Amino acid sequence: MDYWMAFLVGGAICGAAQWLMDRANISQIHMLVGLVSIGALLGALGVYDQLVEVAGAGALLPMSGFGYLLAKGIASHEAGQGWMNMGANMFQYIGLELSFVITLSFVAALICKPRG
């Protein structure tokens, strides 16, 4: 059941984003920024936590999950630790996701012929 919920929620997020891009003529970069911003906002309000409990990776893998993890890293920052520690807390949560994306991009560039 967990796999189905992850599939349905992640697919709903991505499907809604694709539908908006098709119908409202929104560019890909605007949708990317919108998803990250919505994820960060919902994460700061505590709403995205409930979605992650229900869907797990289905809510964390789209770009809205990236914004949620950024907000979670900032929220875990304790007062008096300084700005550098806030940045370290952000990357503590998103480090695995960033390293996966960089590795996957490198492998895709080796397999496919990049343009430009």
**How does pLDDT run across 37-69, given as a tens digit for each residue?**
999 999 989 899 999 999 988 888 888 888 898
DSSP 112: S
Report d(CA 70, CA 65) in Å as an integer: 9
Domain boundaries, the chain: 2-111
Higher pLDDT, 100 or 28: 28
The pTM of this model reads 0.77
Nearest 10 degrees: CA dihedral of 38, 44, 48, 52? 120
CB-CB contact of 13 with 21 (8 Å): no
For 76, half-sphere exposure in the C-beta direction (CA atoms, 13 angstrom radius) is: 14
pLDDT tens digits along 80-104: 677 777 777 777 778 877 888 899 9
